[in-house]
Amino acid sequence: MRNPGLFSWVFGALMLGVVTVHADSLTIIVDRSTDNSELYVAGPADTLLALFDVDPSVVPTRDGVVDYDAFSLGTWGIGDALLKHTRVTFNKEQAGFEAMSFMLHPAEDALPMQTPLDANIAIGICSALSSTERYRLNDMTGYVGYFSPQSSAASAIEVVLPAVSQSSLNVTIIDYAQNASSTVVQQFKPGETIRFVISPPARHGALVVSFSLFVLASLLASLWVTIQPHVAEKRLKPLFVKSHRFEDRRASGP
C-alpha cells in the first residue's frame, strides 16, 4: 500500500480476481498522470443517480426501458449532470473535471471495474447492448468517466457526494499512479455524508531516501554495538588502574 494515510481504511477490496460492482456499493477508479487526471465511478444505476442527487429522468427511456438509441449522440450530458452537485478537489482546489461518457450495462452482467482500461471500456457505448434488448434503469449498473486536464499526481483528492445513502454503502477506491495501484474500501452508515479523501501517492524518491536513512542508521547502530565494549574498556581501564594505584598508595601510606 503506497498511501500510509489510508491504512485506517478497511482492506476488504484486496480480493484477487476481478472486482465487480454489487448492490449498495460504488467503485471509484482514479487514474493520476503527470499532465491530466481521470476519474471513473460505477454502481447500481438507481443508487448512483440518487447519491449524485440526479433525477432518473436524466437517463433517456421509452416506456421505462432504457433508450440506447439516444446514447448514440453522446452521454457526457448525463455525466455532467451527475457531477453538478458533487465536490471534487485536488489539494482543496476545485478539480476541473468534465464528463467523457456515461453508460449502462445490465446488473446481471456487470463489466469488470478494476483498471482504468476496464473503466474506459465500460463507459463506451460500443460495449453496450444492442437497442433491441429491454432493460429498466433499476436492472442496470451505471458507469461514468471524467477527464481533467489538471495533474493530480501529487495531490490529495477529496470527493464529497451531494446526497446520503439510505442504506449501508461500501465505496471501493482504486487509485492508479505511476503504473502502481492501491485499493481500499470505505464503509458508510445510512445517513452518513459520503466523503472520502484519497491521499497523494508516496513518491519513490522520498521512499528511497527514507529507506537509505533507515539502512544507514541501522549500520551505525550495529557498528556502535560492536565497538562500544572496546571503547568502554579503553576509556575506563586507565581510570580503574589510576584509581587502583591511588588506593594502593593510600594503603601503603605512612
By CB under 8 A, name the binding residues for another protein: 35-36, 38, 71-76, 98-101, 117, 120-121, 123-128, 145-147, 149
Residues 2, 177: Cα–Cα separation, whole Å: 10
CB of 43 or CB of 145, closer to another protein: 145
* Least gap, CB of 75 to another protein (angstroms): 7
| Strands, E assignment, the chain | 25-32, 37-44, 61-62, 65-66, 87-90, 93-94, 98-106, 140-148, 157-160, 169-177, 180-188, 195-198
CB of 9 or CB of 147, closer to another protein: 147
CB of 73 or CB of 180, closer to another protein: 73
Q: Contact, 41 vs 24, CB < 8 A?
A: no
* Least gap, CB of 51 to another protein (angstroms): 22
CB of 3 or CB of 131, closer to another protein: 131
Residues 120, 115: Cα–Cα separation, whole Å: 9
Residues 210, 219: Cα–Cα separation, whole Å: 14
Q: Which grid cell sits at 108?
A: 446481471
* Least gap, CB of 125 to another protein (angstroms): 5
* Least gap, CB of 149 to another protein (angstroms): 6
* Least gap, CB of 97 to another protein (angstroms): 9
CB of 38 or CB of 175, closer to another protein: 38
- If 0-12 CB within 10 Å is exposed, 13-18 middle and 19+ buried, where does residue 252 land? exposed
